[in-house]
């Protein structure tokens, strides 16, 4: 009886392993064709030289217009900001970008308090699903993922065919195998920026949403993204330092910067001192230049903003113009 | 540990493998260790509560058995009730009653300063507490003899397949099975695995996918109305059924692999034609527990009518409270109690009407209408069950009649994946076939020829792989009870 059972399990296992092995090959091939996926798009750049590159989360992705900067400076740049990323993911993106033979003269790395904060880590974790298609074919991606995931979990991803695509089947639905990516259009332009048009319905244009005394019970990721409490997450700080160290090794000049945040009042602007000092201190400790735009006049004009943390197309172009001065 | 976790994928075959490899006399030790490990994967220190419950009830029952007279047994029964219900109250209900009392005091501008109890609700506490209480109550009533082996009793309380979300077993069914020698049985193992697969299908493909849409609507009900709210409620009806019955199937299947037979917990409840029938088919282990240990001791239906209705209403209201420390659950239970009272009040007229049409062309349409009606009433109850507050529940009910924003078809299509609708359809067809053929689904599947049967097995596994939700935060709904 037991023999019969194990024989059937063995046969079932062989059939399933074969099916998943084939599917893994097909899905990997197909997933890498998807240039609309941000990570694939960044990794597609090879052996290019950029005078400047902007890296960070959505406050880079939506708030830096490369053509505006190019028109002022004549320099070649790229926006590799990626919404919702933390330093761990940005480190992987930057390392892979350089490993692909690209050169960067100056890297502008966006930093907000939330970038370092422990509360952020739980809300914005490393999005492994963006990179799992590379797991079996790219050593750098594989090693970064291995360092950030439980060993056992990693082994399943690496050695069990299709396992990682099963886990992220929402991001890699089986229907992808039949999709034609040659005609997919990205939501960002050819320099990597997605400009926000108009105003978010959640944007309270009459409220100064910068909080000096944090009120955790009212924190909402959309309205109050600037959590000034909480500990600096040591793992996140570690990844930040790795970015700095890596860039120094590759002779890339790093400039830390904090983009504008909406404030409905000038007293709100004046209240940002602690915020600025916090990041400035980190910049000094790591021997990098720091630029802050938290007290810039751009912050006061609601017409520049899509929501409290993201500028719209109009504001982005103005801000990009301001940034141009630091790129000449 | 969750059933839908990577840890379980390895825990299960290791425990089953060791189970069959070990001599029978050591198996209970393995199962007990595995059960405690299973529980401690969630929060290790809370295993102390299970141990406390086990030790108190073990010794209380042994002491009770020394006396013939119930009066002399009573103190030990009270000790068991106090220990178990005390812990349950402290961890689950204290803050609820405290907040409600505070609200009353504040309404009358009276001072009230009892602080809240800042503690995490132990997973499965309502389940294992009721399971162990059924044991002590049955010992008290002389229905069973107390278990003399502390280890076996501890295993009864903590048996891992059904520890955290049932079925709530009875000692008469489960205890003796730990003494039986279970050899490797091909039928049990294959049937158990098939049942587990079916459970995972319901949980991962249907319940967890529907949860996204349901949570979006029910966590911000003020933003939705009309068809969206109706579909969210119907989705929740299927979500909770698939989540809970899925868990039960996995639990029953896992136990069956090792040769243990747990009680059935669901039997096609959404095909019921009366509320009474619904409760004979929904969460059977809990409804029978309340019948035997609350409803019948209150007098059941062997009393005057008004008292009978009162017993029904109170039993269901309390069962609502069992589900959670929130007035929404109380209202849900009370609603079902009220529906049952009304149903019993009108039983005679209904039976007369059904007798008059049973041989006419109206019979099948009537049955279909009844099924839809009971499903609709169940959905009405689910509004309260799922809503975060009573006012949210009222808002949802009222907004079902408000269609001012029209129907947002793109939104609905994006939130309710087609494959989920197909999966629900498959599940309902399976339920209907079972009901109409009056056969066991396992027997029906086993009668299919080899190649189509294996295609079916592989097909379901692939569907789970392609469409199941594997995010680590997709807990079972009933874990919170």
B466 → closest Cβ in A8, A15, A174: A174
Is the confidence at residue B120, as pLDDT, over 90?
no
ipTM tops 0.95: no
Mean pLDDT of B164-175: 91
Mean pLDDT of A155-159: 92
B186 → closest Cβ in A4, A20, A162: A4
| pLDDT tens per residue, range A273-320 | 777 887 888 899 889 999 999 889 999 898 999 988 899 999 999 999
Is-contact B319 B290, C-beta < 8 A?
yes
State the DSSP H helix or E strand holding residue A132, giving kind and residue range, or none if neither: none
Is the confidence at residue B98, as pLDDT, over 90?
no
Give CA–CA dist A328/B260, Å, rounded. 76
pLDDT for position B460: 93
Chain A: give the shortest CA distance to residue B223, in Å: 13
Q: What angle do CA B326, B329, B335 make, to 5 degrees?
A: 140
B307: number of Cβ within 10 Å = 14
**Range list of H helices, B201-303:** 208-218, 226-257, 275-281, 284-290, 296-298
Q: What angle do CA B269, B159, B211 make, to 5 degrees?
A: 45
Mean pLDDT of A90-112: 95
Facing residues of A103 across strands?
A49
pLDDT for position A312: 94
pLDDT category at A218 given cuts 50, 70, 90 is very low
pLDDT category at B395 given cuts 50, 70, 90 is very high
Give CA–CA dist B221/B41, Å, rounded. 35
Helix, strand, coil share of chain A (percent; to 5): 50, 10, 40
pLDDT category at A202 given cuts 50, 70, 90 is confident
Is-contact A133 A27, C-beta < 8 A?
yes
pLDDT for position A225: 38
Q: Would you call A169 and B470 a contact, using CB atoms and an 8 Å cutoff?
A: yes
Is the confidence at residue B223, as pLDDT, over 90?
no
Is the confidence at residue A121, as pLDDT, over 70?
no
Q: Would you call A12 and B186 a contact, using CB atoms and an 8 Å cutoff?
A: no
Radius of gyration of the CA atoms of chain B, in A:
23
B184 → closest Cβ in A2, A15, A169: A2
pLDDT category at A215 given cuts 50, 70, 90 is very low
Is the confidence at residue B100, as pLDDT, over 90?
no
Per the prediction, chain B carries an average pLDDT of 90
- Sorted by sequence, the CB contacts under 8 Å of residue B89 that are 6+ apart come out as none
Contacts of B458 in chain A (CB under 8 A): 12, 15-16, 19
Is-contact A112 A276, C-beta < 8 A?
no
Just list the catalytic residues of B: 323
Mean pLDDT of B91-99: 87
| pLDDT tens per residue, range B263-298 | 999 999 999 999 999 999 999 999 999 999 999 999
Is the confidence at residue A172, as pLDDT, over 60?
yes
Both structure tokens of B35: 């059960």
Give CA–CA dist A234/A242, Å, rounded. 12
CB-based contact, A84 to chain B, within 8 Å: no
pLDDT for position B105: 87
Is the confidence at residue B404, as pLDDT, over 80?
no
Task: Examine residue B130 and say whether the peptide bond preceding it is cis (omega within 30 degrees of 0).
Answer: no
pLDDT for position A43: 95
pLDDT for position B294: 94
B390: number of Cβ within 10 Å = 14
pLDDT for position A119: 56
pLDDT for position B205: 93
Is-contact A35 A184, C-beta < 8 A?
yes
Q: What angle do CA A171, A175, A179 make, to 5 degrees?
A: 100
Mean pLDDT of B149-174: 93
Mean pLDDT of A93-118: 89
More confident residue, B419 or B77: B77
Contacts of A20 in chain B (CB under 8 A): 465
pLDDT for position B309: 94
CB-based contact, B457 to chain A, within 8 Å: yes
Give CA–CA dist A105/A107, Å, rounded. 7
Closest alpha carbon to A239 in A128, A130, A111: A111
Closest alpha carbon to A229 in A186, A182, A275: A275
Is the confidence at residue A219, as pLDDT, over 50?
no
Q: Would you call B190 and A5 a contact, using CB atoms and an 8 Å cutoff?
A: yes
- Sorted by sequence, the CB contacts under 8 Å of residue B133 that are 6+ apart come out as B57, B80, B81, B84, B85, B293
Q: pLDDT over 90 for what percent of chain B?
A: 63
Is the confidence at residue B147, as pLDDT, over 70?
yes
Q: What angle do CA A168, B7, A171 make, to 5 degrees?
A: 5
Give CA–CA dist B192/B442, Å, rounded. 10
Is the confidence at residue B133, as pLDDT, over 90?
yes
Give CA–CA dist B77/B70, Å, rounded. 10
Q: Looking up tokens 């390895």, which residue turns up?
A: B10
B292: number of Cβ within 10 Å = 16
Q: Choose the weakest-confidence range: A155-159, B135-139, B415-419.
A: B415-419
Q: Looking up tokens 């309710």, which residue turns up?
A: B416
pTM for the whole structure = 0.86
pLDDT category at B430 given cuts 50, 70, 90 is confident
Closest alpha carbon to B421 in B242, B162, B198, B171: B242
Distances in Å between the Cα of B364 and the Cα atoms of A157, B355, B368, B425, B439 are: 52, 13, 6, 21, 21
Residue B325's Cβ-count burial label (10 Å; 0-12, 13-18, 19+) is buried
Distances in Å between the Cα of B315 and the Cα atoms of A68, B288, B333 are: 71, 11, 8
CB-based contact, A174 to chain B, within 8 Å: yes
């Amino acid at each position: 009886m037991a023999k019969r059972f194990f024989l059937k399990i063995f046969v079932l296992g062989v059939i399933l392993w074969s099916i998943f092995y084939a599917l893994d090959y097909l899905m990997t091939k197909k997933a890498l064709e998807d240039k609309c996926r941000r990570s694939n798009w960044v990794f597609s750049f090879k052996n290019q030289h950029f005078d400047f590159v902007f890296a960070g989360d959505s406050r880079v992705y939506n708030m830096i217009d490369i053509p505006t900067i190019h028109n002022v400076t004549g320099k070649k740049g790229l926006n590799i900001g990626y919404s919702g990323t933390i330093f761990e993911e940005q480190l992987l993106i930057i390392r892979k970008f350089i490993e692909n033979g690209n050169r960067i003269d100056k890297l502008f790395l966006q930093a907000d308090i939330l970038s370092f904060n422990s509360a952020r880590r739980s809300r914005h974790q490393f999005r492994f699903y963006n990179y799992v298609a590379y797991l079996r074919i790219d050593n750098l991606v594989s090693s970064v993922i291995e360092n950030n995931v439980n060993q056992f979990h990693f082994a399943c991803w690496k050695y069990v065919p299709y396992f990682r695509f099963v886990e992220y089947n929402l991001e890699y639905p089986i229907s992808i195998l039949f999709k034609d990516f040659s005609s997919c259009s990205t939501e960002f332009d050819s320099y990597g920026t997605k400009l926000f048009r108009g105003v978010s319905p959640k944007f309270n244009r009459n409220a100064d949403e910068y909080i000096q005394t944090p009120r955790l019970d009212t924190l909402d990721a959309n309205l109050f993204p600037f959590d000034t409490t909480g500990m600096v997450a040591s793992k996140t700080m570690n990844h930040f330092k790795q970015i700095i160290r890596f860039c120094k090794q590759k002779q890339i000049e790093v400039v830390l910067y904090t983009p504008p945040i909406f404030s409905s009042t000038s007293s709100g602007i004046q209240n940002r001192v602690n915020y600025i000092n916090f990041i400035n201190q980190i910049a000094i400790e790591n021997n990098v230049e720091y630029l802050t735009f938290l007290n810039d006049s751009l912050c006061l004009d609601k017409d520049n903003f899509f929501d409290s943390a993201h500028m719209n197309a109009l504001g982005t172009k103005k801000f990009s113009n301001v940034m141009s001065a630091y790129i000449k | 540990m969750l059933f839908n976790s990577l840890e379980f994928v390895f825990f299960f075959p290791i425990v089953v493998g060791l189970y069959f490899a070990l001599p029978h006399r050591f198996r209970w030790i393995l199962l007990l260790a595995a059960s405690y490990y299973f529980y401690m994967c969630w929060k290790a220190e809370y295993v102390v509560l299970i141990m406390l419950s086990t030790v108190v009830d073990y010794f209380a029952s042994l002491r009770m058995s020394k006396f013939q007279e119930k009066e002399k047994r009573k103190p030990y029964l009270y000790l068991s009730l106090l220990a178990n219900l005390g812990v349950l109250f402290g961890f689950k209900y204290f803050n609820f009653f405290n907040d409600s009392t505070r609200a009353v005091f504040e309404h009358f501008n009276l001072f009230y300063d009892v602080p809240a109890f800042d503690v995490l609700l132990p997973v499965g506490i309502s389940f294992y507490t009721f399971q162990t209480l059924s044991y002590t109550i049955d010992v008290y009533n002389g229905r069973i003899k107390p278990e003399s082996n502390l280890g076996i009793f501890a295993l009864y309380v903590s048996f891992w397949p059904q520890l955290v979300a049932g079925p709530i077993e009875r000692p008469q069914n489960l205890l003796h099975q730990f003494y039986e020698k279970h050899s490797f049985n091909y039928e049990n193992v294959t049937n158990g695995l098939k049942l587990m697969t079916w459970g995972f299908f319901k949980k991962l493909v249907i319940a967890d996918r529907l949860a996204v849409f349901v949570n979006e609507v029910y966590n911000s009900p003020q933003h939705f109305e009309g068809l969206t709210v109706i579909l969210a409620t119907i989705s929740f009806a299927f979500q909770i059924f698939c989540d809970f019955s899925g868990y039960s199937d996995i639990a029953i299947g896992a136990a069956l692999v090792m040769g243990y037979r747990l009680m059935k917990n669901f039997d096609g409840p959404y095909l019921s034609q009366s509320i009474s029938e619904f409760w004979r088919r929904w969460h059977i282990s809990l409804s029978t527990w309340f019948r035997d240990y609350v409803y019948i001791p209150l007098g059941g239906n062997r009393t005057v009518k008004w008292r009978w209705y009162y017993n029904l209403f109170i039993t269901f209201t309390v069962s609502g409270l069992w589900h959670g420390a929130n007035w929404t659950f109380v209202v849900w239970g009370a609603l079902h109690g009220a529906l049952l009272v009304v149903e019993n009040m009108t039983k005679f007229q209904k039976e007369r009407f059904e007798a008059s049409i049973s041989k006419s062309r109206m019979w099948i349409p009537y049955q279909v209408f009844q099924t839809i009606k009971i499903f609709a009433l169940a959905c009405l109850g689910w509004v309260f069950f799922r809503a975060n507050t009573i006012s949210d529940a009222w808002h949802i009910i009222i907004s079902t009649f408000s269609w001012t924003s029209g129907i947002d078809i793109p939104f609905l299509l994006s939130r309710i994946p087609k494959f989920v609708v197909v999966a629900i359809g498959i599940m309902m067809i399976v339920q209907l076939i079972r009901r109409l053929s009056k056969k066991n689904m396992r027997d029906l599947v086993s009668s299919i020829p080899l190649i189509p049967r294996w295609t079916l097995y592989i097909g379901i596994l692939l569907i789970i792989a392609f469409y199941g939700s594997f995010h680590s935060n997709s807990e079972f709904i009933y874990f919170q009870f």
